[in-house]
Amino acid sequence: MKYRTMANVGKNLSLLGFGCMRLPVIDGADAHIDEAKAIQMIRDGIDCGINYIDTAYMYHGGNSEVVVGKALKDGYREKVWLADKLAAWYAKEPEDLDTIFEEQLRRLDDDYIDLYLIHNIDEANWKRVLRLGVIDFVKQLKEDGKIGHYGFSFHGSSAAFFKEVLDYTDWEFCQIQFNYMDTHIQAGLEGLLYAGEKGIPVVVMEPLKGGKLIDELPPTVQAYFDQLGSTRSPVDWALSWVADFPEVMTILSGMNTPQQLVENIDILSVSEPNSMSDEELQILENAAAEYNKLIRYGCTKCQYCMPCAVGINIPTIIDYLNQYSQYAGSEKIVNDFKMFIQPTRKVPSTCVQCGKCEDACPQHLKIMTAMSESAAIFEQGENNAR
Ligand X SMILES: NC(=O)c1ccc[n+]([C@@H]2O[C@H](COP(=O)([O-])OP(=O)(O)OC[C@H]3O[C@@H](n4cnc5c(N)ncnc54)[C@H](OP(=O)(O)O)[C@@H]3O)[C@@H](O)[C@H]2O)c1
For ligand X, give the closer residue by CB, 236 or 379: 236
Q: Which stretch binds ligand X (CB under 6 A): 19-27, 185-193, 216-224, 365-373?
A: 19-27
79 to 98, contacts with ligand X by CB under 6 A? 85
Between 214 and 347, CB nearer to ligand X: 214
Residue 379 carries which side chain, given as an amino acid letter? E
- The DSSP output letter for 124 is H
CA gap 285, 265 in Å, rounded = 25
Amino acid at 260: Q
Residue number with CB closer to ligand X (182 or 373): 182
Stretch of 27-35, 134-142, 251-259, 342-350 lying at the interface with ligand X (CB under 6 A):
251-259
Rule CB under 6 A: choose which of 39, 46, 205, 312 binds ligand X: 205
45 lines the binding site for ligand X (CB under 6 A) = no
* C-alpha distance from residue 52 to each of 19, 204, 272, 290 (Å): 9, 12, 18, 34
Q: In whole angstroms, how large is the CA radius of gyration of the chain?
A: 21
Residues between 260 and 289 with contacts to ligand X, criterion CB under 6 A? 260, 263-264
- With CB under 6 A as the contact rule, the residue among 6, 13, 15, 21 that binds ligand X is 21
Question: Which range in 104-112, 130-138, 180-188, 199-207 contacts ligand X by CB under 6 A?
Answer: 199-207
* Residue 92: CB minimum distance to ligand X, A: 21
User: Closer to ligand X at the Cβ: 20 or 138?
Assistant: 20
State the Cα–Cα distance between residues 350 and 375, nearest whole angstrom: 9
d(CA 220, CA 79): 44
Could you say whether residue 256 binds ligand X (CB under 6 A)?
yes
Closest Cα partner for 41 from 258, 264, 211?
258
Burial 239-263 (b: 16+ CB within 10 A, else e): bbbbbbbebbbbbbbbbbeeebbeb
The residue within the footprint of ligand X, chosen from 11, 60, 77, 209 (CB under 6 A), is 209
- As a whole number of angstroms, the distance between CA 365 and CA 297 comes to 7
Using CB under 6 A as the binding rule, whether residue 235 contacts ligand X is answered as: yes
Q: Does 54 bind ligand X (CB under 6 A)?
A: yes
Using the rule CB under 6 A, give the single segment among 249-257, 278-286, 298-306, 339-347 that binds ligand X.
Answer: 249-257
